[in-house]
């Protein structure tokens, strides 16, 4: 009996390892992002596929002086936030994977295929996740985000990312780093406003093989990056050509269509109404975070709220002030989860303490 139990435990371990290999190879963390833009409707929708169910909203006020986190950086960049924002943080406070600022700028990141960040040069550096916070703090438009490339250099620390960006005018773009250089695609009405895990150019070239986009092939139903890209592109096109579709509801309909077992969070950023709507794998009721509920002035507070609430509707009452103890608990649980799943092997105990202490380096206007 003991040998049977040992064999069973070994089998479970092998199966778990196989799942991780599939999760972190090939298409990587299989996230999907698209925009729904028509008339007064300007929305960005995203599925975050992630194994760790520990995540916090953070309210970031203006007038806060910050510096880049990257532990190994020899040249840091320092800035003072011009805009307040609400962000989703999977790593630590100050390190978001998505969000919206008070100017209506939305950015969400996902892990791409082949990607090479710039070689060292004279520009100060930011890691690929804190890059989002810098943009939320400093930029109101897609054009301003693009222009920051001349001021700073992006460096991979947690992984590799490419980005979907949209502003309140409805201007959208994908931003990637190919062969060490920023590659931007501005997405107008004539473009496909979708990004999954493969590079945008390759996804578009493959899309042309499918029905409705110039080809004869049928769009697939698998969770592969290309199939998700094609299904989302097809459903986004239907939104543009149909009247009477409720934008937020349709956004969640597309997200459900392209979701998979690893989808943990589904977001609909309603830029027009400055509201973040979302569902989680653990609670399918729609929750809302209206940005107008917060004081983003320099006298405002750094606030936190657990994303994994079972409530529905407006959850702004869940936001309470940041404390070092809360961030320590947050980071400690995240790192424990990562290490149990074989992720973040490059992150040392010293790095972890820096993640915990990072918000303490912020300087608030008195």
Break the chain into its structural domains and give their ranges: 32-364
Instruction: Point out the least confidently predicted range of 8-17, 35-44, 53-62, 218-227.
Output: 8-17
| Cβ neighbours of residue 285 closer than 8 Å, sequence gap 6 or more | 279, 310, 311, 312, 313
CA distances from 206 to 109, 213, 215, 275, 318 (A): 22, 10, 9, 34, 44
Residue 301 has pLDDT above 80, yes or no: yes
CATH topology of domain 32-364: Penicillin V Acylase; Chain A (3.60.60)
pLDDT at 240: 83
38 closest CA partner among 255, 271, 286, 230 = 271
Question: Per-residue pLDDT tens for 175-202?
Answer: 999 999 999 999 998 999 999 999 999 9
Measure the CA–CA gap between 81 and 61, rounded to whole angstroms: 8
pLDDT at 29: 59
pLDDT at 111: 87
Residue 82 has pLDDT above 80, yes or no: yes
pLDDT at 16: 33
pLDDT at 244: 82
pLDDT at 13: 34
pTM given for the model: 0.91
pLDDT at 239: 92
Per the prediction, the chain carries an average pLDDT of 91
Residue 88 has pLDDT above 70, yes or no: yes
**What integer is the mean pLDDT of 13-32?**
45
pLDDT at 23: 41
What phi, psi does 45 have (nearest 5°)?
Answer: -125, 140
pLDDT at 226: 97
pLDDT at 366: 64
The residue that leads in pLDDT, 17 or 67, is: 67
Residue 204 has pLDDT above 50, yes or no: yes
């Amino acid at each position: 009996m003991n040998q049977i139990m040992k064999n069973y435990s070994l089998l479970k371990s092998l199966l778990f390892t196989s799942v991780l290999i599939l999760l972190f190879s090939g298409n990587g963390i299989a996230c999907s992002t698209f925009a729904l833009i028509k008339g007064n409707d300007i929305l960005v929708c995203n599925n975050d596929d992630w194994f760790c169910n520990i995540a916090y909203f953070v309210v970031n006020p203006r007038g806060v002086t910050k510096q880049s986190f990257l532990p190994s950086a020899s040249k840091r960049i320092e800035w003072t936030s011009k805009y307040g924002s609400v962000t989703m943080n999977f790593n630590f406070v100050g390190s978001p994977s998505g969000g919206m600022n008070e100017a209506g700028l939305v950015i969400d990141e996902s892990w791409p295929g082949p990607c090479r960040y710039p070689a060292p040069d004279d520009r100060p550096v930011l890691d690929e996740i804190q890059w989002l916070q810098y943009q939320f703090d400093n930029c109101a438009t897609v054009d301003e985000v693009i222009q920051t490339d001349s001021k700073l250099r992006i460096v991979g620390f947690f992984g590799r990312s490419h980005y979907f960006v949209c502003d309140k005018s409805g201007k959208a773009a994908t931003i990637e780093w190919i062969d060490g250089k920023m590659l931007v695609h501005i997405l107008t009405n004539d473009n496909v406003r979708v990004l999954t895990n493969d590079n945008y150019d390759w996804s578009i070239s493959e899309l042309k093989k499918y029905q409705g986009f110039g080809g004869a092939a049928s769009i697939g139903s698998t969770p592969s990056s290309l199939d998700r890209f094609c299904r989302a592109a097809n459903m986004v096109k239907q939104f543009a050509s149909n009247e009477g579709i409720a934008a937020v509801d349709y956004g969640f309909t597309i997200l459900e269509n392209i979701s998979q077992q690893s989808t943990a969070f589904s977001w609909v950023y309603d830029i027009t109404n400055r509201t973040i709507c979302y569902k989680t794998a653990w609670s399918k009721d729609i929750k809302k975070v209206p940005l107008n509920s917060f004081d983003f002035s320099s006298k405002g507070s750094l606030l936190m709220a657990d994303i994994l609430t079972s409530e529905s509707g407006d959850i702004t009452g869940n936001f309470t002030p940041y404390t070092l103890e809360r961030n320590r608990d947050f980071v400690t649980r995240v790192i424990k989860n990562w290490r149990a799943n074989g992720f973040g092997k490059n992150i040392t105990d010293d790095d972890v303490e820096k993640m915990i202490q990072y918000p303490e380096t912020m300087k608030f206007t008195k």
